Amino acid sequence: MRVGLHALGIGDGARPEIVRAVARAAEAHGFGRLWVGEHVVMVDTPVSRYPYSDDGRIAVPADADWLDPLLTLAFAAAVTDRIGLATGVLLLPEHNPVVVAKQAATLDVLSAGRFTLGVGIGWSADEFTALGVPFAGRGRRTEEYLAAIRTLWRQDTATFEGEFTRFSKVRVNPKPVRDRRIPVVMGGNGDAALRRAATVADGWYGFNLSAAEAVERAAVLAGHRAERNRPADDFGVAVALSDGDPELLPGLARAGVTEVVVVEAPPATPDEATRWVAGLADRWLTPARA
């Protein structure tokens, strides 16, 4: 069981001295990965319901600082050597896939192959409107963009023809470090997200789930993987828990969860942040290694 940390990019976690302190301390204490999420746009009065809370509202204030996840992880990569780095998640249909392929491969090279591309289809119609991207069809768009990105990573001279993107005989370099591949994790808790993860991704990231919900979702995902002949040893299952209890780790491991992601907000000074990470490590990493 690996334990990741989702703590950077928002509020105090958006300040460079806190990113530096948390990243270094997380690596020193043995956290497996740093996860950073994304919203390009926030609005004061959203039209869309937030799907990861009971009241349909996101806990982050609309006026909070929210860093770009790829740039944040590039900064974290520069101050660390071993810890994994993951977007949790990048809202892929909001982006140009050719640009994402370039940026992700660049981060993978600069981090010596430590990067995982976590993606999701997005939930905020307001955000899509602001970016000039249709909200409808975003699931299909995500799957097509992933296929295009992998084509760009894999082929020296790449050609792709799809519903939403097309290019012919283009070169996008650098290539990812690990055999021209970057692991792709699909976010989202619903049935469609699980099917999509089993079909087009290398793993799944469930967010703000109770332990019971995580076990149930992992079982559904395992069924989708079995239908598609996707073995468990080639597929990561990461969950961020709403009920954050380290005693739940053995049961989650038996259910097929390979990583629990601790979602917390860091304190306001580097010294406090360093001690805070040490406390999280004492609480979470000892049970994970037992």
pLDDT tens-digit series, residues 250-279: 999 999 999 999 999 999 999 999 999 999
Residue recorded with tokens 């000039």: 132
Asked whether the CA dihedral 106, 107, 108, 109 is positive or negative, the reply is positive
Give residues with Cβ within 8 angstroms of 216, minimum separation 6. none
Q: Does the pLDDT value for residue 56 go beyond 70?
A: yes
CA distance 174 to 153: 8
pLDDT score recorded for residue 100: 98
Q: Is 39 left (phi over 0), alpha (psi -120 to 50) or beta?
A: beta
Confidence of residue 12 (pLDDT cuts 50, 70, 90): very high
CA distance 188 to 139: 11
Q: Is pTM beyond 0.95 here?
A: yes
> The tokens of 232 are what?
């468990």
Whole-angstrom CA distances from 86 to 115, 116, 128, 151, 275 are 6, 5, 23, 21, 23
Q: Does the pLDDT value for residue 289 go beyond 80?
A: no
CA distance 156 to 172: 8
Confidence of residue 87 (pLDDT cuts 50, 70, 90): very high
pLDDT tens-digit series, residues 138-177: 999 999 999 999 999 999 999 999 999 999 999 999 999 9
User: What's the whole-number average pLDDT of the chain?
Assistant: 97
pLDDT score recorded for residue 231: 87
pLDDT score recorded for residue 290: 67
Report the pLDDT averaged over residues 213-234.
94
Query: Which of 90-94, 241-245, 272-276 has the lowest average pLDDT?
Result: 241-245
pLDDT score recorded for residue 234: 86
Give residues with Cβ within 8 angstroms of 99, minimum separation 6. none
Give residues with Cβ within 8 angstroms of 108, minimum separation 6. 114, 115, 176, 177, 178, 182
